[in-house]
Structure 1
Amino acid sequence: MLPSWTENQELRSMSEKPRLIYFNGRGRMESVRWLLAAARVEFEEIFLDTREQYVKLIKDGSLMFQQVPLVEIDGMKMVQTRAILSYIAGKYNLYGKDLKERAFIDMYVEGITDLMHMILMFPFSPPEAKEKNLALITERATHRYFPVFEKALKQHGQDFLVGNQVSWADIQLMEVILAVEEKTPAVLLAFPQLQAFKTRMSNMPAIKKFLQPGSPRKPPPDDHYVSTVLKVLAEE
């Protein structure tokens, strides 16, 4: 029996490229871009520039909690960054081989996300708070978060954080290392394991391609990005 029209639509949506709907900047979508790039998955992007675009997504029922990012993948409209990332990680074999490995990946990812949240909010800091917030990011990276991963890599004795293959945790760690280095270039001086990890990850073909100019990787947020986000999300 031939597939019905509805089934055909579903089959077609399953084979289409994921579509990322967000601002033209890093924000919470950048980790999704990293993960898809590491999995060698091509994707399309739609950038939000106006309040009207955002309101239309809400009225259309596309945003479950009236929040972006939004990723259309496999016939679903996915929201909530953690849910999006865990789905992609599971789909593309970046989520460990068993529940125990997944638990460690989850713990590492949660820690990385805490540090990344500070970095994501930094561009929205008032000018008088930027110096203090930058110092806090550097302090937390060097005293709370990076020591954990330095120790984990040394004790594990493998190239990657969990098991013996690259996972979601490795990819997010690479993302946050580069994000902190943009603000504090010498941040890895006391972390030889992380220095070696960064070199290994940078040389992986998919990551190396993502780090090249012209890739979907977004530049550090500037004033235009900040103003666009505030304009689109501003409550009327």
Structure 2
Amino acid sequence: MKKTLYTVIKSIRTFLSEKFHQEDSRLPYFITVLVSLVIVVGGINLFIELTDTLKTDTLASYDTAITDYVLSFRNPMLTKYFVFVTDIGDVNGYLIVLSLFAFISWLVLKQWKYVLQATIVLALATFSNMALKRFIDRARPGIEHLVSVKTLSYPSGHAMSAMAFFGFLMYLISKLDIHRVLKYFLIFIFGLLILSIGISRIYLGVHFPSDIAGGFIAGFIWVVFCVLVFDLIELFRRDPNVN
């Protein structure tokens, strides 16, 4: 994405220079910031629209129908799988994943900044989720919980963190110069993990489907925002024309 973004900015700069016979080296970066804001604001608007419908009968009927359908698949084998993936999306799970990622970054990628960036994305998603839960104050579903929970319901912290953290890892993998099959395989695995973590919260009875949708939207907002900010910082650092 960095190369694509850089090419787009250079093209815009050339166009503006030819069009107005005067190049402002900072203008393309302002345009990039504007684009990022449009994406983030659009995502926030979608999140707010969903949040505004939490107490409506229409959303309640969808939540009930989807929950009943997911619960109809409950069996010992699936329960073990969803408990496992939901544990990956918990604090201890992320500590393990981050440790593995740090080791791989040190041994293979030789890029510690990726570990720092992934940690920042996860931290932003986690702390903002805690604030949103307190502000929205939605109770958990009143059905059997297969795992213990202590916090409020909306948006799902597991879904939000999974989308933000593993979504960002998918972006990083897309930039790596590795075999295409391996790249697509890893992206598929992380995508499947995000989806599994989201479904696990419904299956285990601790979240409404709308909680998962809200978490995914909020997590995706952080992915887009952080990717654009990180790339913009890198472009400012590398481009000698920017003051």
Q: Give TM-score, length-normalised by structure 2.
A: 0.34
Q: Give TM-score, length-normalised by structure 1.
A: 0.35
Q: By percentage of residues, which structure has more helix? A: 2
Instruction: Name which one, 1 or 2, has greater alpha-carbon Rg.
Output: 2
Q: By percentage of residues, which structure has more strand? A: 1
